[in-house]
Amino acid sequence: MGRNWAITIGINGYRNLQRLNYAKRDAEAMQSFLQQELNIQIVYHFSDDSPPIPQDYGPALDSSPTYATLRRFFRIRFEDPFLRPGDNLWFFFAGHGKRHEDRDYLMPIDADPGDEAEKSTWIPLNYITDRLRRSGADNVVMLIDACRSGSGRRDSSGFGQEKQQGVITLFACSPWESSYEIDELQQGAFTHALLQGLQIEGEGNCATVERLYQRLQQTVPQVTQQYKRVQQTPYGVVEPPTKYHLILLPRKANLADIDTLKLDAQRAELRKDFKLAKQLWIRVLAASPADHDAVEGIERLALVSATPISIATMQEDIPTATTGQRDTSSQTSTKPSVPTFKFEVVTLEVKRSGGVLGLGQKVELLTHRRPGRAEYRVEDLGDGVSLELVVIPGGSFQMGSPDTEAERQETESPQHRVTIAPFLMGKYAVTQVQWKIVAALPRVDRDLEPDPSKFEGGKRPIEQVSWHDAVEFCKRLSEKTGREYRLPSEAEWEYACRAGTTTPFHFGETITTDLVNFKGNFTYASAPKGQYREQTTQVGNFPPNAFGLYEMHGNVWEWCLDHLHYNYRGAPNDGSAWTAGGNASYRLLRGGSWNDDPRRCRSASRDWFNLVDRGSYFGFRVVCGSTWTL
């Protein structure tokens, strides 16, 4: 499972078409990346002067990209399946393409462009797609830069309009545009941006199809503008749409990527599309080896499959778990159970040693990790978008901060015991893609702007929304689902954030920018300075708390229901919103943001703004108060 094979083709020296400058170089760069960075086992590379391709048996393959060579290769190599579900097949082509009579064609080195009647030296793109699908891999990725012509331009009017079924196809430019070769880079603009995107590490990486496509659409126009070329915008056709969520680079996937894939697998099971469900659960295992939910999913499928599915067979090639992956348990179960997910809980310990009376003391931050597990529910918003909610168990806690907490405020006093009933809370802050779906629902009390955020990105939290906007979102969601959605009370929010802790942060005594998105040039309690990102980040990028809630500290402030009261004297002790008295024109926000120092991101920290105010640091997450029948 998880094998990668590839085909790379780059042609400069066309015999009957305008010669190109950097198509061969682009294909070589792609071949090198696939072999070195993705550890691709087999790369079939065809270019003007590439060496013969070694074979496991028989003579080496001719690698000249002529019509006869390429056509024979696709016919013979793909006659029978040789890959399996969970494998990836990459196809990269840099050269000329042509559109004729509503068909797309790739042009080999000896193509005759004038042979429009017979097209005897043109290779139909859908023929290649059909052959690649025969490989047995459930993930075929086609990267096509076939819109090239001379004079620094790669041109093929209308190329890319023919939909390729069952594969992921990313074209270098939209139909009717041209793609450009950049002399200063000695590469095509598309390949330059593609390789940069694939090599990004950490935050903002292109682990999924969706993120890679979004980055290409953003960066390729920037490259062509920088080098004074005409607009070039990559164009993607992803079939079926669930493949947008597929993880191309498992090592770089974050927990939110894996969760999204798991939701797709669960939906496929509900639709009884067991073949797709199996493929998706295998993908989850590739990114999170021995994931408990994926193992259970495979076992469920085994019960409905005519051919039993062997977990051992599926896991034989699973790599060793790495940091950030969720579960290393091999426990399996075929019994029906409530849906749960596993995660890793991170805490920081500040260890002090040496010194006299605090002078010369050595301070060390120790990171501890332990497994966590939580129950969850999923609300289907439509158009492939869902809202995940975590079951928050009931309990009691001390709300507010103790007098001994560093940089506390009097508004966090007095500490008082509050009892909380169980409820459901958004696993993440509401994202922009979720907002857009709900904003399109019928109005209840007020209009909603579909794209209000300053920092655009479907999986980034929605921001620049007022308290009124957040409440309208909840009302529309309630109308759609028949369940009660609302903002949390302050008490619910702090209880959920603390998740059983009494320290300033659920991570412990302090935080770092490896764990929270905040203004990292400020510090708290002996932590070092870190990165100031100056913007929001995608939800799910940082570790969750013990309840399984992500980004409760930093990223965006989160609106609560309560009126402004300057302290807790007279506050309810049952977890309800404090909406009696106080200043109803101002509402509370909790959690801090990307633009705040760490003291304002503490579990007990409070802020307030007018209920009509908006800012690039104001967001929210929802609470569901309804009983949820499984």
Q: Which of 205, 223, 252 is the last residue of a domain?
A: 252
Q: Are residues 443 and 466 in the same domain?
A: yes
Q: Is residue 326 part of a domain?
A: yes
Q: Are residues 260 and 169 in the same domain?
A: no
- pTM exceeding 0.85: no
Angle, helix 274-287 to helix 255-270, in steps of 10 degrees: 160
Q: Are residues 504 and 540 in the same domain?
A: yes
Q: Are residues 584 and 553 in the same domain?
A: yes
Give the Cβ contact number of residue 320 at 10 Å: 7
Read off the CATH number of the domain in which 539 is found.
3.90.1580.10
Q: Is residue 352 part of a domain?
A: no
Q: Are residues 246 and 294 in the same domain?
A: no
Q: Which of 335, 360, 388 is the last residue of a domain?
A: 335
Q: Are residues 283 and 321 in the same domain?
A: yes
Predicted confidence at residue 160, as pLDDT, reads 63
Predicted confidence at residue 158, as pLDDT, reads 55
Give the closest residue to 497 by CA, choosing from 569, 339, 390. Answer: 390
Q: Is residue 354 part of a domain?
A: no
The count of residues in the chain is: 630
Q: Is residue 341 part of a domain?
A: no
Predicted confidence at residue 119, as pLDDT, reads 87
Q: Are residues 378 and 391 in the same domain?
A: yes
Distance of alpha carbon 396 from alpha carbon 574, whole angstroms: 9
Amino acid at 316: E
Q: pLDDT tens digit string along 38-67?
A: 778 789 999 999 999 887 666 888 999 999
Q: How many domains does the chain have?
A: 3
Give the Cβ contact number of residue 377 at 10 Å: 17
Distance of alpha carbon 509 from alpha carbon 98, whole angstroms: 62
Q: Is residue 605 part of a domain?
A: yes
Distance of alpha carbon 76 from alpha carbon 88, whole angstroms: 19
Q: Which of 335, 356, 389 is the last residue of a domain?
A: 335
Q: Is residue 357 part of a domain?
A: no
Q: Are residues 512 and 595 in the same domain?
A: yes
Longest dimension (CA), the chain: 91
- What phi and psi values does residue 440 have, to the nearest 5 degrees? -85, -5
Predicted confidence at residue 323, as pLDDT, reads 29
Q: Are residues 519 and 429 in the same domain?
A: yes
Predicted confidence at residue 282, as pLDDT, reads 85
Give pLDDT < 50 ranges for the chain: 1, 148-156, 306-336
Q: Is residue 361 part of a domain?
A: no
Predicted confidence at residue 627, as pLDDT, reads 61
Give the domain extent around 293: 253-335
Distance of alpha carbon 329 from alpha carbon 373, whole angstroms: 12
Q: Which three-class secondary structure state does DSSP give residue 34? A: helix
Q: Is residue 351 part of a domain?
A: no
Residue 284 tokens read as 């989850």
Which helix (H) or strand (E) segment holds residue 4: the answer is strand 4-10
Q: Are residues 245 and 281 in the same domain?
A: no
Distance of alpha carbon 381 from alpha carbon 620, whole angstroms: 17
Predicted confidence at residue 332, as pLDDT, reads 37
Q: Are residues 514 and 543 in the same domain?
A: yes
Q: Are residues 417 and 304 in the same domain?
A: no
